[in-house]
A and B are shown apart, each in its own frame.
Chain A
């Protein structure tokens, strides 16, 4: 931990370097911390890494011209070099008439509970012991376990020459495991800001993955087409992240590129669907301000099937005549803003009740390598993996070979019939964003291709 005061001094030095290099205004952001990650494959640790570092990004404004530079050298020479590069770019730029200036933002919430020293400082031995539990449980059942345990702590601070200074410290732990046997697989993943929150889950994540793999053996082929589905929270999270990116970026709306253009305020999804974005919630991985330094505001993205609010940065907010919602990727980000802390409100059903109410359908454990097939309609494509099961007459009958889906996420969310009562973390495999959501039952979901594996 560098600490609030020392990071404050660092950013003050960076802003001073920008002024000395000739900037009229300056903005500086520091991201620093240490992360460690232990990976295991085939029941042994095969990669085990740690890193520490700090990175300062600086933006110089010369009138309405902007230039940026970043460095991980946080001494006077490092700042002077970066400031010189930022100012050189700025002075050779064209004017940016939309530059709203670096603003003085209100102080964001401090959220001291977000940093847990035990989690941030977890030793390599402790991570190895977590991996060991998963590996030993798997080995005893002739299953091969693959996974990772990641811990870390970091600090983020933003300052500008208009007087803004925001500081945040947070910790995180994540653990995932895939069990594999005879070509079948099951997987589980858990994450939180502190080990104390998911202690029990960490102990069990390997067991759940291995048990699913054992159930997924000898899958049978199943035809493609439209199927009623029960989606695990992890599968739901995958769909919601894409929807947040395709639908709720104010820039995309202003440029006519959002799949929800012209649909705000209209009921286009099931009234069981309510999704919020909350960067302040301690149930997720909070981050109380954005890269401009603007405090994050809680957004109601979808209220009972009606899309409501968009994520704004300063530029899009100014154009819309409102205040930024605190979702910017930085003063030089022109791609807009998107919600990063998604929470779908729970319903009152259990997964068992969803299955019991299904005459014939599929249970999806996980979607994989999802991508946008047709952005204007919110159509996604991706594969199932790690456990796809046939449901018949209210019971899980047998595992099914993986299938490809090609489906509009907006239309799919209009077919939600039941919402789970339990929320689970459902972060994606590439580490972007935080999502907590329930399991869902949908009356139909389009699978475009069956496979033989």
Chain B
């Protein structure tokens, strides 16, 4: 494949490209589901192809094909990419500039104790069937167990002498129970909603989730929610569990810090960001307890890799230090606009998509609290767990989340549960109301495999490290 990549670069150069990069991607995806005691959606998919991105006439062009066998196809898409770039130059602004990325070659492979693609179908389905069976109980109309395995192999080369070979392996699984009565239904999930949790890891990650061991609790909580009162309205102190907090980080920190969004690249589609460039180093994003990094080197995260899709080596970038906003995530083009090095966050979902600024692992660093002590220190509050719904405006300021369940906290103790819990807020006000983050003992990586951005659409797999944290005086119970 390396030879084909070089042919692409040479063809682009001969057509007049000032810069060219070629990327081959071979994707394998296995998806299994057991639903109501029966197999469902058991699929094995592969997709491979080649994409070439160039700068010609100071503007970008990209073309891609699934025909990777012959050099002629490769050379044709390189020529097409240059032609498209010249069309871009019809409506050109300043010529594209890229932050430097020194030449060099590298390789990376996800640490993987047990290759998930070599684990037999019977064992995978058996594991799911066992967990799903344990969910069965009265009033549970839909019971599900899921498993997802992904392998993404990338070979990359650019005209500046940068290249890499990379193999990313992801594993994930989860269970969900839907209890139905009259005109209401309630869902409980483990370890997270929307098909579970995911990691860059081998099958050992799936084994470690112990789906079967959590099934009875999940089923019982789904049933109990049918009898629970609706979440009250008002303002309360709220403790969010790690899974919900991971999505809170995703929507109200991860997206606003995308520098391409800040510069307007997504204005017509995914939106912009309130985090305009004059705020860099000068904005109190959160309280002193809020420390956030973008860390593609964190083991196990869905945003963990060796190289981003421009060949920039994985980095750990400070984003928020003691509440102060100190860094964006960026690619080579957006970073150059601010005179900064790339944050190594250029990611493409597959061979037929260009790299754009995407989250890596956006991690809220752990604090010092034990979860039990934090609950004991809270009165008249709620402990909210597992995301059910999310929405945020196009500048990433006004959010509203729903969770599957909430426990009342009275006198420092968890009490009764509430159904349909919701909370809402404004991003900086919310993060400045954070007065406690739990310790590394409670901190874990949460995988988000469905982050949408870009046109044509791209779905990114990103990670969020989080431990439960407390927020003061939050508006709850928006849906009554």
Contact = CB atoms under 8 A, between A and B. Distances in A.
A37 interface: yes
Interface in B426-441: 426
Contacts of A125: 87, 90
Q: Name the residue among B85, B391, B402, B422 with the largest chain A CB count within 10 angstroms.
A: B391
Q: Name the residue among A52, A85, A125 with the largest chain B CB count within 10 angstroms.
A: A52
B183 interface: yes
A53 B88 contact: no
20 contacts: A39-B268, A43-B91, A46-B60, A49-B63, A68-B44, A89-B44, A92-B120, A92-B122, A93-B121, A144-B264, A146-B264, A176-B269, A334-B41, A372-B389, A381-B479, A385-B271, A404-B391, A451-B393, A451-B398, A453-B397
A52 B66 contact: yes
B476 to A, nearest CB: 12
Contacts of B452: 430
Given A146-B267, A404-B400, A68 B91 contact: no
B397 A451 contact: yes
B354 to A, nearest CB: 6
Contacts of B183: 261-262, 376-377
Interface stretch (A126-134, A279-287, A337-345): A126-134
A185 B122 CA distance: 54
A199 interface: no
Given A66-B42, A383-B398, 8 more contacts: A42-B264, A43-B91, A49-B62, A50-B84, A69-B45, A255-B141, A376-B185, A385-B394
Interface in B8-50: 33, 35, 38-49
A184 B393 CA distance: 14
Interface in B225-284: 263-265, 267-271, 274
B39 A96 contact: yes
B393 A48 contact: no
A123 B87 contact: yes
A53 B265 contact: no
A175 B121 CA distance: 45
A368 B91 CA distance: 28
A49 B393 contact: no
B209 interface: no
A27 interface: no
Contacts of A124: 61, 83-84, 87-88
A66 B269 CA distance: 39
Interface string B117-156: 0001110010001000000000001100000000000000
Interface of A: prevailing SS: strand
Interface string A338-380: 0000000000000000000000000000001111111111010
Contacts of A97: 38
B65 interface: yes
Interface stretch (A11-19, A70-78, A297-305, A414-422): A70-78
Contacts of B265: 39, 41, 46-47
Interface string B417-453: 0001010101000000000000000000000000010
A72 B66 contact: yes
A51 interface: yes
B305 to A, nearest CB: 22
A332 B40 contact: yes
A176 B269 CA distance: 9
A38 B88 contact: yes
Contacts of B43: 67-70, 89, 332
B414 interface: no
B395 interface: yes
Interface string B55-70: 0000111111110000
Contacts of A402: 393, 398
A256 to B, nearest CB: 4
A169 B105 CA distance: 44
Contacts of A255: 141-142, 178, 180
Contact of A41 (B185, B264, B397): B264
A96 B38 contact: yes
A217 B39 CA distance: 55
Interface residues of A, number: 96
B457 A431 contact: yes
A371 B391 contact: yes
B390 interface: yes
Contacts of A39: 265, 268, 455
Interface string A223-261: 000000000000000000000000000000001110001
A381 to B, nearest CB: 5
B420 A374 contact: yes
B263 to A, nearest CB: 8
B71 interface: no
Contacts of B38: 94, 96-98
B255 to A, nearest CB: 11
A212 interface: no
A123 B90 CA distance: 13
Given A146-B264, A262-B183, A332-B41, A44 B125 contact: no
8 closest A-B pairs by CB: A44-B93, A124-B87, A146-B267, A53-B66, A334-B40, A256-B180, A70-B45, A68-B43
B85 A48 contact: yes
Given A45-B90, A176-B268, A451-B398, A383 B391 contact: yes
Given A35-B456, A37-B455, A123-B87, A50 B398 contact: no
A40 interface: yes
A49 B354 contact: yes
Contact of B400 (A68, A146, A373, A431): A373
Contacts of B268: 39, 41, 146-148, 176-178, 187
A406 interface: yes
Given A69-B43, A123-B87, A146-B268, A50 B63 contact: yes
A340 to B, nearest CB: 16
A396 interface: no
Contacts of A40: 91
Contacts of A135: 91
A333 interface: yes
A333 B41 contact: yes
Contacts of A438: none
Contact of B267 (A45, A96, A180): A180
Contact of A48 (B87, B400, B426): B87
B125 A381 contact: no
B267 A41 contact: yes
B174 to A, nearest CB: 16
A449 interface: yes
A104 B43 CA distance: 23
Contacts of A47: 60, 62, 265, 354, 356, 455
Contacts of B394: 368-369, 383, 385
Interface in A143-185: 144, 146-148, 150, 176-178, 180, 185
Contacts of B165: none
B92 interface: yes
B478 interface: yes
Given A53-B65, A257-B180, A448 B424 contact: yes
Interface string A54-93: 1101000000011111111100000001100110110011
Contact of A148 (B45, B121, B269, B478): B269
Given A46-B60, A97-B38, A373-B479, A385 B393 contact: yes
A44 B45 contact: no
A94 B121 CA distance: 11
A180 B394 CA distance: 13
A383 B393 contact: yes
A50 B85 CA distance: 11
Contacts of B61: 48-49, 124
